[in-house]
A and B are shown apart, each in its own frame.
Chain A
Amino acid sequence: MGGHSSWPEWIYIGVVVALLVWVGAEAWNVERLVEHIPAEAKTIIVTGQQWFWTFEHEDGTKEIGELHVKKGIPYKFEIGSKDVIHSFNIPDYLVLMDAVPGRINVVWFLPVEEGEYPIQCREYCGLLHYNMRGTLYVEDGA
């Protein structure tokens, strides 16, 4: 110990804190933007159960394991579960929200490109967790 000066450490801590403030502020700002759900978003009720996904559109049509949506329309997922905790995940659209029994969690997204995208379960839910998959079809809705 002894004869060292501590100013390099103070500068270092200052830089670290400044970087962390920047990270926090940026994250806060982006989270605020992506969490704001557009008022005209269409609701899709998503239900997870061991080990498949059920989707119910606003007009009452139901789909199992497949989800058809129209390009350019914002959708709001209302996610629930019938048995254990699952996590509804469309990796290509960064949609991720746990399906918790007894709760409804909400997340929204905007499909922008036509195509097929995988849907998967991201929270461990038992025997066929690895195969609790589905497909998102984004179709031209114009």
Chain B
Amino acid sequence: MAEIHLKALAHSYSDAPKGPADYAIREMDHVWKQGGAYALLGPSGCGKSTLLNIISGLLSPSDGDVLFDGKRVNDIPPETRNIAQVFQFPVIYDSMTVFDNLAFPLRNMKVPEAKVQAKVLEIAEILELQDMLKNKAKNLTADEKQKVSMGRGLVRDDVSAILFDEPLTVIDPHLKWKLRRKLKQIHEQFNITMVYVTHDQLEASTFADKIAVMYNGQIVQFGTPRELFESPNHTFVGYFIGSPGMNVVEVQRHNGGVTFNGVDIPLDDGLVDFLNQVPGNNLKIGIRPEFVHVSGESVLGAYEADISHLEDLGTYKILTFRLGGETMKARLDEDQEVPSGKAYVSFPKQWLKLYVDEYLVEDTYDE
């Protein structure tokens, strides 16, 4: 059982890093609690696989510590770290049968053969591999192979965390949900910490209780799928989570609020006060397309916008419009009336987010 604590952790592939740009992982402090199901979500090249390899010990961090239950494990090699890892492309031992594949880690640890038998059968049952134990592993399908490589982690009693590195990449779409559900079920059955790396927000939110969004070598937000959706902590989270992503517009300070190209947006007093105190000029506002209010008639507080086009996606529609020279999107219900040519859009206050230097600024008084 392990709680994984990344303490002041940073990693650079360069021997003499000069600035933050040389770091694949920028300094972070993060805790994965024992028994949680976590996802590490981010675009390609954001450092998520590096972070995973640091946790598993395949890579040694250049700065900071990795703590398992408070014990520093930086110098402990992966084979003695009590973790298992499932890779993007299924790793199986071609020449062995499914049974021997599952038994391999136990036999390497010199576990008595009777116990190996019992344990392998138990895990095979859970993974629904019991009918193919005698088959050569190389003839399995990709999803079965992935189950075998996960099984090699599960057979070991000492495994307290399983790390997944985009494990569904090579799986057929119709089998993905099945395997994902299996993972979820295994997580409930075993008291194991699971960290799941992916660049697919759907995979992340169906698998994990909490998602860490990574961007540029940093964890920019750690929260439930709902938190990531409703109050993205960073403009990148807004853009990356949701389909389509958040509308983010650069703005300037203005009397009682902010403005862009003649579009004035009033803000609550608390935020205005805050804005007057911070020096930064990198100000942005963001609103999710789901929360943009669209109407055919002029209503109080609405802005007149030009409609560019409408995409009908079957269960919902995406309306693209231009406001003050910026292109924005709104997500409408299938049965909602869509005005043509001009539309009046408004941004409900509770969903309008203000970002200073890319990070969310919240109204402090309503908390």
Task: Answer whether A and B are interacting partners.
Answer: no
Interface positions of B (Cβ within 8 A of A): none
